[in-house]
């Protein structure tokens, strides 16, 4: 079971990035997927999550209106579109899969499988 995150990079404040998370080794639409981030010296925090099939989403308050999570089930890929980036968004971003997810469930806990992370750096 693997999750491969990509798409990070260096961007100026106000810019955009799109992160991708390709999952393999399990049935994609049986898991809820979340994007998390961890900045140096801080705890890992949930950024956004999407339910099985992509019908429901959830966002942390600090990204509402700026970030958007979506899924392409045919490609077993979840995206995180990040717009109007701020220096405080600088972190390593991870995608994660949560088993035992009900069809419309969007979760903040219970994530068991993690990708390797991709670095996002926003300069001021």
Going from the C-alpha of 5 to that of each of 14, 21, 60, 91, the distances in angstroms are: 22, 4, 19, 13
Running DSSP on this structure, what letter comes out for residue 77? E
Residue closest to 45 by CA, chosen among 99, 121, 96 = 96
Q: What is the pLDDT of residues 58-80, one digit of tens each?
A: 999 999 899 999 999 899 999 99
The mean pLDDT value for 36-61 works out to 94
d(CA 66, CA 75): 24
The mean pLDDT value for 40-68 works out to 94
Backbone angles phi, psi at 116, to 5 degrees: -85, -15
d(CA 64, CA 51): 17
d(CA 57, CA 23): 18
Evaluate if residue 5 carries a pLDDT over 90: yes
Q: What percent of the chain has pLDDT over 90?
A: 81
Evaluate if residue 28 carries a pLDDT over 80: no
The mean pLDDT value for 91-114 works out to 92
The mean pLDDT value for 90-112 works out to 92
């Amino acid at each position: 079971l693997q999750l491969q995150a990509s798409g990070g990079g260096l961007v100026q404040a106000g810019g955009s990035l799109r992160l991708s998370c390709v999952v393999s080794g399990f049935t994609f639409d049986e898991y809820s997927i979340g994007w998390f981030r961890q900045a140096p010296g801080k705890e890992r925090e949930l950024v956004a999550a999407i339910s099985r099939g992509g019908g429901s989403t959830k966002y942390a308050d600090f990204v509402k209106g700026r970030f958007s999570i979506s899924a392409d089930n045919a490609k077993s890929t979840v995206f995180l579109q990040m717009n109007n980036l701020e220096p405080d968004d600088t972190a390593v971003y991870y995608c994660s899969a949560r088993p035992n997810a009900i069809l419309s469930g969007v979760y903040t806990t219970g994530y068991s499988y993690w990708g390797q992370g991709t670095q996002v750096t926003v300069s001021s």
